[in-house]
């Protein structure tokens, strides 16, 4: 007796035991769901953008090293702008008021986690102009006399100024980021109320996290519950039985509650995007039950004399193999997300895989009990789905090979769109144009001429940086960077240091290479407060590292990647070889997001395909069927992605995981079809295959509608990644239906049929 046969016998034995003790089993299940589900109240989520990048990500490591050197974990940029140069006094007055708020930790609008900030008022004392003794009119004069002040903090017209605020957030959970955003929003609202004629905008990592939370909270509140409504409608249309619909949805929701509760008990912090895993679990659980319910309906018609309990047990035994196989292969598909670079995707895959374990246990052992206790006579009125199934299979029978060829060619045309793929992962593209985050960034771009910053960190040997030779080389290198067409300006120490030298008594007017080293040291150390233990936004502790911020206009991810590589190449040519120069920053890190994940997922998807094929071969005891399953399940994902590229050309994060994610979903229907065909090996003719298809296709139709329309709801998300995911997943499911109907049976006849005659 084989191992697999022993496992099945054990499952059937437990099914009979559970069925014989219906009320105690149901009561214990409710208690278990209640106990585990209590953890739902303690699920920890975070919108920290770092959760989108794995610890081993090269670009994340560069940014973390930069943050360690310069003491900057989070940054907020705040813009103040007026309409014309004549309003400069008003602008300076608003900036001065903001300075007093930020400089006073006891202020009502102070920022709790602020470590430092830089603005024109914060720099004046270092230049010998105490704030209390420097009127606004004197600052106007200083802006004209000392061009460095205007260059560092203002735009060319002196109609806008930018304030950089450094934050050290220890709590990056949803609640922590929300509190930090609330403080920033309150400060901005106060400034807008106090200075109604001054435009105030702000952006940064905290506002980015809040934008992610806000966009995904819309999905949690509206789209995910609507998924439940869609599932209810599809099930009720398919079976015309309210009790069966309620039981199926109840089992799906129970799977979600168990998974969510376990996530809460674990204490793990999940990226908010991973919460979408819960609706996926519910939909997949319902999809597994659909085939079983249709099977019960078939037995009711073919064996009207058989009692209800016998019908239920026989149907669950009959479909135990494809149900187990479908859950196993789907779990493998989602577990392959562990090859993704993003921890958020890894968490999503693991959550769904765990949820499918709960789902399988509930489907095999609890659902039969729930159907027997809660569904009365259990009349399944699925004749409409069967009529529709007959119509589709008749269409296939009129030209099996022709239909297969047409669908295959159409998919090849769609896949050809992948040649035009452009990855663009700029965070602001995740949100609609009217989103406050994008409006704030656009306000900064309109007033300052740039809206992105790319950091370049240069590393020096000890006592090498604060030398005339090093500053002369820095000036030459900076000028070469400014010559790049993408670079609008560069924030670095040169303007302030040269301004200090020019206003010495007597002023220094020579080249940086000839400046007395003592004078250079004074100008740097008096304006940039750096010690052996504490750095700032420009110099690291001990003056071993220097950060330049390249200010650029909004770029696509491809342009950011190209610019980053060009800048590092120029730095190497200037003598900063190896790890002595690193381009980093959130913009750089995000621009590589899809590219890195796509390359990683090529391995994950390949492994998933191999494992799934092996499982199908073992469960169905047929190597040809295992090989036959690959093409109809892999091509739909590629075709939907190609279709997206034909329409939009640019793809983002969703595209990097779509193959692995949908491969695990669409394989379920393929398994049920192959299992049905494999059971009827003596019917390997066109007519025989058509008869088998008519029996199994009602379940395929219902699951396609339930899964397809359920995922399509994500297209209405306020978050662009979910919009892409919704389109790609729904399109893949519907295309997979065409493959299951027109391609898979035709391939089966070609490679498995013994008799092609009708």
Around Cβ 225, how many Cβ atoms within 10 Å? 13
User: Does 50 map to a domain?
Assistant: no
Confidence at residue 222, expressed as pLDDT on a 0 to 100 scale: 78
CATH number at residue 315: 1.20.1640.10
Given a contact cutoff of 8 angstroms between Cβ atoms, the answer to whether 438 and 720 are in contact is no
Q: How many CA atoms lie within 13 A of 499 on its CB side?
A: 23
Whether residue 504 is contained in a domain is answered as yes
Give the total residue count for the chain. Answer: 758
85 shares a domain with 9 = no
pLDDT of residue 756: 43
Residue 327 inside a domain? The answer is yes
Q: What is the DSSP letter of 485?
A: T
Looking at the structure, do residues 460 and 514 belong to the same domain, yes or no? yes
Give the torsion through C-alpha atoms of 329, 330, 334, 335, to 10 deg: -30
My answer on whether 84 and 130 are in the same domain is yes
- Say yes or no: 101 and 190 in one domain: yes
d(CA 297, CA 288): 15
Are 20 and 98 within one domain? Answer: no
CA–CA separation, 371 vs 246, rounded Å? 10
Cα gap 365→316, rounded to integer Å:
9
pTM: 0.81
**Residue 753 CA from chain centroid, whole number:** 44
> Angle at the Cα of 627 (from 624 to 633), degrees rounded to 5?
135
Of the residues 564, 588, 612, which one is the last residue of a structural domain? 588
Q: How many CB atoms lie within 10 A of CB 717?
A: 20
Closest CA relative to residue 680, chosen from 753, 605, 580: 753
Domain that holds residue 171: 73-210
3-state DSSP helix/strand/coil percent for the chain, to nearest 5? 70, 10, 20
Asked if residue 699 lies in contact with residue 668, where contact means CB atoms within 8 angstroms, the answer is no
Sort 544 into a burial class: Cβ within 10 Å, 0-12 / 13-18 / 19+: middle
β-bridge mates for residue 650, sequence order: 422
* Residue 734, in any domain of the structure: no
Contact predicate 268/351, CB 8 Å: no
| pLDDT means over runs of 10, the chain (758 residues) | 75 90 92 91 77 78 81 80 94 94 91 86 84 90 81 88 86 81 94 95 85 75 81 89 91 92 86 72 86 87 84 88 87 86 83 92 93 82 87 86 87 85 68 81 86 90 92 95 92 89 87 92 86 79 90 83 92 92 85 77 80 81 79 84 81 71 78 79 68 85 89 79 83 90 84 55
Bridge-based pairing of strands 650-651 and 74-81 is unpaired
Alpha-carbon gap, residue 117 to 123, rounded angstroms:
10
Whether residue 246 lies inside any domain: the answer is yes
454, 552: one domain: yes
Which one of 567, 588, 609 terminates a domain? 588
pLDDT given for residue 758 in this prediction: 42
Q: How far apart are CA 14 and CA 387, in angstroms?
A: 36
Token pair for residue 45? 């989520």
End-to-end CA distance of the chain: 38
Is residue 287 included in any domain, yes or no?
A: yes
Are residues 30 and 84 both part of a single domain?
A: no
Q: Is there a single domain that holds both residue 260 and residue 354? A: yes
Last residue of a domain, one of 381, 408, 424: 381
Quote the number of domains for the chain: 3
Q: Are residues 193 and 271 in the same domain?
A: no
CATH number, residue 193: 3.30.70.100
* Order of all β-strands in the sheet with 581-584: 487-491, 545-552, 452-459, 581-584
Chain centroid to CA 347:
11
Does residue 108 share a domain with residue 4? no
d(CA 333, CA 337): 7
Assigned domain for 22 exists: yes
Same domain for 247 and 329: yes
Q: For position 684, what pLDDT does the model report?
A: 62
Residue 169's SS3 state is coil
Cis check: omega of the bond before 506, within 30 degrees of 0: yes
38 and 97 in one domain? no
Query: Would 728 be classed as within a structural domain?
Result: no
């Amino acid at each position: 007796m084989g191992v697999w046969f022993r496992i099945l016998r054990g499952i059937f034995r437990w099914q009979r035991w559970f069925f014989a003790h219906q009320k105690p089993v149901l009561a214990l299940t409710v208690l278990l769901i209640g106990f585990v589900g209590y953890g739902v109240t303690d699920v920890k989520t975070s919108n920290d953008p770092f959760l989108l990048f794995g610890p081993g990500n090269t670009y994340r490591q560069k940014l973390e090293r930069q943050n360690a050197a310069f003491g900057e974990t989070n940054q907020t940029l705040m813009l103040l702008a007026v309409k014309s140069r004549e309003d400069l006094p008003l602008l300076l007055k608003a900036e001065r008021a903001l300075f007093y708020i930020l400089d006073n930790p006891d202020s009502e609008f102070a920022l709790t986690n602020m470590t430092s900030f830089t603005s024109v008022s914060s720099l004046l004392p270092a230049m010998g102009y105490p704030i209390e003794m420097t009127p606004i009119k004197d600052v106007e004069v200083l802006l004209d006399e000392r061009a460095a002040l205007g260059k560092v903090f203002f735009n060319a017209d002196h109609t806008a100024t930018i304030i950089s605020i450094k934050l050290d957030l220890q709590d990056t959970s949803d609640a922590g980021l929300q509190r930090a955003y609330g403080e920033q929003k309150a400060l901005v609202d106060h400034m807008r109320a106090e200075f109604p004629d001054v435009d105030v905008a702000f952006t940064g990592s905290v506002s980015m996290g809040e934008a992610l939370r806000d966009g995904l909270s819309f999905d949690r509140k509206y789209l995910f519950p609507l998924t439940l409504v869609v599932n209810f409608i599809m099930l009720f249309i398919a079976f015309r039985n309210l009790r069966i619909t309620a039981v199926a949805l109840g089992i799906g929701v129970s799977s979600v509650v168990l998974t969510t509760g376990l996530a809460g008990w674990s204490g793990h912090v999940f990226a908010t995007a991973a919460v979408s895993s819960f609706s996926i679990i519910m939909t997949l659980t319902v999809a597994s039950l659909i085939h079983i319910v249709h099977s019960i309906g078939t037995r009711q018609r073919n064996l009207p004399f058989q009692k209800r309990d016998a019908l239920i047990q026989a149907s669950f035994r009959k479909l135990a193999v494809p149900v187990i196989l479908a859950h196993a292969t789907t779990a493998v598909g989602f577990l392959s997300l562990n090859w993704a670079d993003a921890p958020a995707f890894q968490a999503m895959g693991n959550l769904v895989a765990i949820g499918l374990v709960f789902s399988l246990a509930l489907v095999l052992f609890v659902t039969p009990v729930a159907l027997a206790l809660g569904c009365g006579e259990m009349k399944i009125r699925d004749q409409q789905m069967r009529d529709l199934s007959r119509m589709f299979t008749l269409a296939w029978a009129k030209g099996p090979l022709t239909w297969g060829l047409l669908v295959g060619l159409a998919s090849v045309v769609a896949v050809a769109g992948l040649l035009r793929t452009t990855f663009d992962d700029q965070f602001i593209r995740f949100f609609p144009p009217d989103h406050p985050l994008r409006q704030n960034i656009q306000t900064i771009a309109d007033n300052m001429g740039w809206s992105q910053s790319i950091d370049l960190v240069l590393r020096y040997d000890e006592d090498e940086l604060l030398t005339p030779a090093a500053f002369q080389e820095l000036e030459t290198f900076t000028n070469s960077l400014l010559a790049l067409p993408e670079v609008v300006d560069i924030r670095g120490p040169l303007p302030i240091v040269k301004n200090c030298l020019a206003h010495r008594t007597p002023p220094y007017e020579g080249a940086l290479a000839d400046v007395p080293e003592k004078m250079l040291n004074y100008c740097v150390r008096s304006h940039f407060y750096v010690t052996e233990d504490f750095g700032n936004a420009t110099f690291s502790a001990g003056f071993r590292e220097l950060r330049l911020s390249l200010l650029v206009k909004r770029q696509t991810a491809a342009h950011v990647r190209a610019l980053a590589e060009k800048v590092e190449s120029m730095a190497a040519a200037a003598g900063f070889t190896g790890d002595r120069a690193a381009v980093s920053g959130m913009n750089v890190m995000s621009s590589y997001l899809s590219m890195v994940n796509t390359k990683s997922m090529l391995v994950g998807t390949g492994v998933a395909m191999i494992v799934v094929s092996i499982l199908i071969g073992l469960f169905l005891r047929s190597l040809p069927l295992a090989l036959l399953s690959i093409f109809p399940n892999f091509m739909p994902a590629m075709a939907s992605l190609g279709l997206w590229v034909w329409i939009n050309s640019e793809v983002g994060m969703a595209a990097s995981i779509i193959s692995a994610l949908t491969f695990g979903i669409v394989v379920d229907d393929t398994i049920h079809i192959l299992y049905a065909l494999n059971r009827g090996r003596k019917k390997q003719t066109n007519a025989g295959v058509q008869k088998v298809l008519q029996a199994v296709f009602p379940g395929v139709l219902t699951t396609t509608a339930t899964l397809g329309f359920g995922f399509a709801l994500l297209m209405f998300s306020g978050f662009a990644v979910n919009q892409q995911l919704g389109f790609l997943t729904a399109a893949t499911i519907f295309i997979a239906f065409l493959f299951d109907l027109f391609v898979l049976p035709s391939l089966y006849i070609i490679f498995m049929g013994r008799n092609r005659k009708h």
